[in-house]
Chains A and B, each alone.
Chain A
């Protein structure tokens, strides 16, 4: 990464207090039980080996032994100091240690040789004390109670929280990118010198959809990949001289300031335009490599550009905010243009039936035998290859029913050739489709309705419940079966699922992602399996991508499994 991309630290900034180089702890070895590079420090003026042993028992503390007269200064300066054991009988040195320890929130334990010392310790309000000599065990216990008591309160506490909050605001936790105020501060001098800054607004569309489908953990991971991809690409272009890359915390969009270094030429408009074009494909490639095609196809990136010229009469912040707004609007208009293209693409797709169906196998967890297939409709045209995008465009153009009809027809047409006679077809149907007069139990042209499972998503709210259930009954009478899709995605509990009397319960993907390390997810799935068994329904875990996830859901009693770990969706040509 070139030096000029100063705003892009790979490792997020350390929020720990900076170490002053003059202070080195004299402890042997390294911390065992703590994060690498960190160990709490026990300061002391005691050369008692029991103190060293106590530190070891405390779980990797460092011991820092100093002469009594230096102890107070050390308390103030050693950044990781957590407790001090003081044994000196010099009242002034003792008082100094207390003063500094109170200010830095360090716990004080007094090792008392006699009753006078003990009284002094009490007067000075030591956090704890012990009688010298003491065993290591005793010292450990005293240090523990003392550190618990010395936890900061009042103003010190508020200070520390404010500092932590402040530092968290400067950088986006997930991407490690600086936030806007930091970026402006960093480029202030350069902007004045160059007199100009180019603002690029990177608008990432549908990242929120990603969160909705896969859960926030996935979106976080995708944001990281995106930030990395942007950084890498910029490093190789004329924009590598850019000063800062900024992300808005809690929002997917990014802003890039391009302020070339004094000895370098600014990127030309042509270069910037070329970059905008590359950026989209580059990010998509990286997303596909890291998170799969489904994710990559879902995300779109639109880039808007604005020029900001330095004006000494206007505050720089305002100039830059204005530039960002302008660039964001430009990005928006690019998006709208693209959208118009997509609507046109959809219309011709509907006319020419340019929709194909991927079949994603659903297998039995225990035998791994194929149980059925979920039909996933996709647009043949590149702009519509993601089903989410295709349906989103259809919703905006009021073509939802028409698109649904085409997708259903396609899935059923191919069913005869693609599925073995004992395999089921899982067909996605939006609750809105039940209002479509052309969608009824009799219009669905299947030879054997018992082989078709209609998947209804829990995400879309059902408006007219009694009517809806009546329709379900009509389908059911002919032998169709039902699955609740994305179960557990909302806060809606098991009651709303029970209402639909499903034959299958498909767990929301966000529950499966990393389920092997999250016990709450395991607990929720367990509850769901128990509930399903009571209802004589089968549970399907979808989005199983890793062996650990597979083993976990299997051990929780999930009946059926679907996901890249076992099978990718199968293309119509068998690929």
Chain B
């Protein structure tokens, strides 16, 4: 049952098309995927879903991705065994600095390149077993 070994992923994006595309793509590769469409929803799902990886869009109305990442990482129990991948156009130097400040582990650039997304997810999944 190799599928059961793949880490669960929480995909957070306010755009329904994006979440659907990502969900389908990752599920096809065997990852259990949950979806949230706002920062608040993602936070409320955190304890329920207990994802190992979070794909987190930065630009969301309400609590943005930075804030969500910071809060998730400061969860007393789950924060440490969670890897957060920011989804953003992180080309700017200070954006990447900010990502570090919030505790993010990786990022993928928008717009989506699905194979690249898969590589990013894989390399972070590999870190979980270490």
Contact = CB atoms under 8 A, between A and B. Distances in A.
Contact of A517 (B71, B93, B127): B127
A520 interface: yes
A14 B77 contact: yes
B105 A152 contact: no
A37 to B, nearest CB: 10
Given A520-B100, A523-B96, A161 B76 contact: no
Interface-central residue, B44, B77, B123, by most chain A CB under 10 Å:
B44
Secondary structure of the B contact surface, majority rule: helix
Interface string B39-53: 011011111111010
Nearest to A170: B76
Contacts of A16: 47, 77
Interface-central residue, B43, B50, B98, B120, by most chain A CB under 10 Å:
B50
A318 to B, nearest CB: 29
A151 B37 CA distance: 9
A67 to B, nearest CB: 26
Interface string A493-526: 1100000000000000011000001111101100
B55 interface: no
Contact of B41 (A15, A157, A173): A157
B105 A171 contact: no
A15 B81 CA distance: 15
Secondary structure of the A contact surface, majority rule: loop
B34 interface: yes
Given A59-B4, A517-B127, A524-B96, A15 B27 contact: no
Contact of A157 (B3, B40, B75, B123): B40
Nearest to A105: B48
Interface string B112-127: 0000000010011001
A56 B4 contact: yes
Interface in A4-60: 11-16, 32-35, 38, 40, 56-60
Q: How large is the interface on A (under 10, 10 to 19, 20 to 34, 35 or more residues)?
A: 35 or more
A10 to B, nearest CB: 12
Contacts, number: 122
Interface in A69-109: 80, 82, 105
A18 to B, nearest CB: 12
Given A35-B81, A523-B96, A148 B23 contact: yes
A518 B47 contact: no
B4 A32 contact: yes
A178 to B, nearest CB: 12
A38 B52 CA distance: 13
A144 B79 CA distance: 24
Nearest to B30: A59
A493 B93 contact: yes
Nearest to B81: A35
Contacts of B35: 148, 151
A374 B98 CA distance: 30
Interface in B65-92: 71, 74-79, 81, 92
B123 A520 contact: no
14 contacts: A15-B77, A33-B6, A35-B78, A57-B3, A59-B6, A60-B4, A105-B48, A151-B36, A173-B76, A488-B97, A491-B97, A510-B100, A520-B100, A523-B107
Interface of A: 11-16, 32-35, 38, 40, 56-60, 80, 82, 105, 144, 147-148, 151-153, 157-158, 160-161, 164, 168, 171, 173, 176, 216, 488, 490-491, 493-494, 510-511, 517-521, 523-524, 527
